[in-house]
Structure 1
Amino acid sequence: MDGNITRKTVNNHGIEIEYYVSNEVNDKSTLIISMGIWEPASRALPLIARLLGRHCIALSYRGRGGSSTPKTGFDWSNHISDIATVIENEPINKPVFLGFSKGVSYMLGYLAANLELANGIIIIDYPAIHSKLEKGAAKFWANMIYNGVKLDNYITTYALEGIENESTYKEFYDDLRMMKCPVWIFRGTDSNADIPSNLMRDDILKYKESVKELEIVDFNYSGHMILDEELGKAAKHITDILNKIDHI
């Protein structure tokens, strides 16, 4: 592991939450990364490695990676306690929040309770909702193979079952209306991608109605998995965004 990246854990009421920190807090803005439904913090490391000198924090939500799996507590409100615990355990400066896929809903749930905290929000290919998983979704995700790896290597089957059984539907567009920071949306536009974009036309319209300062960045060679399919372009845009926030 890169010498500037440190693995840590913090206890969230008996649940050990794993997270990675790159570099120390400095006068630049901190990037806080919230990954997708099955993704541990380690999935963010290729991106973090490209953000040289940047203070970054990425966590593994409960049941993912090196985090422990509780018996219950898998709705969006439970997950936001994980990100809250990590942030409370680390110094941050002018935080910018990046959410990918279902990690968007966890991130927005946290920010809905901390409306003034974010200096910028980066949303990667996901609507501002927390969805209720359909019956059988846990089995689907556990057996899915992505880039040659079965997903239950990243997230426990028990956690997936908890998400399926406990998830509730929640929209965050009204919360976004109350957030005053700029928002960037990364959208995959490759209709032939193996995993297509999760953003529909109506989702974009809702974002446009809810966010005063909004920029949409299209990734023409990506579907949903932008951080894998166009990591270089994503890292460049994220770097530009962070540099802009640094000087606000």
Structure 2
Amino acid sequence: MFADKWIRSKEVKLHYLESSLDDNHLTPLVYVPGALNFAEQSVALLQEFKPRKCISMSLRGRGKSDAPATGYSFYDHVHDIESVVMDSQVHEYCVMAYSMGVPYAIEYASRTRGLKGLILCDYPAAYPSIPKSWAERVLSRSYINQEMEHVVKGIQRESAAINLDQNLTRIEVPVLIIKGGTTKSLLTEEETERYKMILKNVRVVELAEAGHALWEPNRDLFLNVIKDFLKTLDKL
């Protein structure tokens, strides 16, 4: 079971989900979704980690969180993560981020204390300057409600290219990188090598048959990679 939680981040009301189970001997897991994903979408996945405490958030403009007219910069999103973690009062936890949630998590991890581990899923250590074509492509799909169009446009308009290599040098905790092995992966071999070169304590796992959707075609394999990493954190 997951309980609805609410917190304000720079006057923006954010929604997150927190599991009711909480084994104090297990490292809590805090999940940061991808570009337009929201908290509820990860529940089925996170339930696989019970009785470990799990948290999943909807960043501003996603899910049940407020969708302000402006305020969709890279650092606004990082502040959302900070607000959720602070409100949840988790300690000695692991952050797992997927896709465009990865750069947010890297910035967050590089400037926070109390983190025990970091899982980065199929995305480089950089935030993109998002082209208008991305917003147009997203809005052409029927799953974006008309009243949320400003969110997509805001994310695109307020984006700016940020290289996070320097942030990686400040991350001391163990890091797990999971990447897809097909051409649909969003993490190249060169970008993977940069992770390995810069991070102090890193393990890279490539799921040979997966693309960007790492849980396909073998969901259990994806889950077991994460579970094994979390078990190593539990022993620290």
TM-score, length basis structure 1: 0.89
Residue 114 of structure 2: aligned partner:
117
Among residues 182, 191, 196, which one is paired with 1:208 in the alignment?
A: 196
Structure 1 stretch 4-13 or stretch 178-187: which is displaced more?
A: 4-13
The CA RMSD measured in Å over matched residues stands at 1.6
Give the total of aligned pairs: 234
Structure 1 stretch 23-32 or stretch 77-86: which is displaced more?
A: 23-32
In the TM superposition, what is the alpha-carbon distance from 1:206 to its structure 2 partner? 1.0
User: Which letter does structure 1 place at the counterpart of 2:124?
Assistant: P
User: Which letter does structure 1 place at the counterpart of 2:104?
Assistant: Y
CA distance in 1, matches of 2:38, 2:85: 17
CA distance in 1, matches of 2:15, 2:216: 22
Q: Tell me, what secondary structure is at the counterpart of 2:115?
A: coil
Alignment map for 1:76-87 (pairs within 5 Å) = 76-87=74-85
User: Which letter does structure 1 place at the counterpart of 2:10?
Assistant: H
User: Which letter does structure 1 place at the counterpart of 2:80?
Assistant: D
Q: Tell me, what secondary structure is at the counterpart of 1:227?
A: coil
Residue 154 of structure 2: aligned partner:
162
Q: Tell me, what secondary structure is at the counterpart of 2:92?
A: coil
CA distance in 1, matches of 2:196, 2:168: 11
Residue 210 of structure 2: aligned partner:
222
In the TM superposition, what is the alpha-carbon distance from 1:27 to its structure 2 partner? 2.8
Among residues 103, 106, 112, which one is paired with 2:104 in the alignment?
A: 106
Contact 2:21 2:50 in 1 (8 A): no
Q: Tell me, what secondary structure is at the counterpart of 1:199?
A: coil
CA distance in 2, matches of 1:156, 1:228: 29
Question: After TM superposition, where is structure 1 displaced by more than 3 Å over at least 4 residues in a row?
Answer: 227-230
In the TM superposition, what is the alpha-carbon distance from 1:85 to its structure 2 partner? 0.8
Residue 220 of structure 2: aligned partner:
232
In the TM superposition, what is the alpha-carbon distance from 1:128 to its structure 2 partner? 0.7
List gaps (5 residues or longer) in structure 1.
145-149
Residue 138 of structure 1: aligned partner:
135
Among residues 37, 43, 68, which one is paired with 2:66 in the alignment?
A: 68
Structure 1 stretch 76-85 or stretch 105-114: which is displaced more?
A: 105-114
Q: Tell me, what secondary structure is at the counterpart of 1:152?
A: coil
> Is 1:172 aligned to 2:164, yes or no?
yes
Identity of aligned residues (%): 25
CA distance in 2, matches of 1:12, 1:230: 37
In the TM superposition, what is the alpha-carbon distance from 1:94 to its structure 2 partner? 1.3
TM-score, length basis structure 2: 0.93
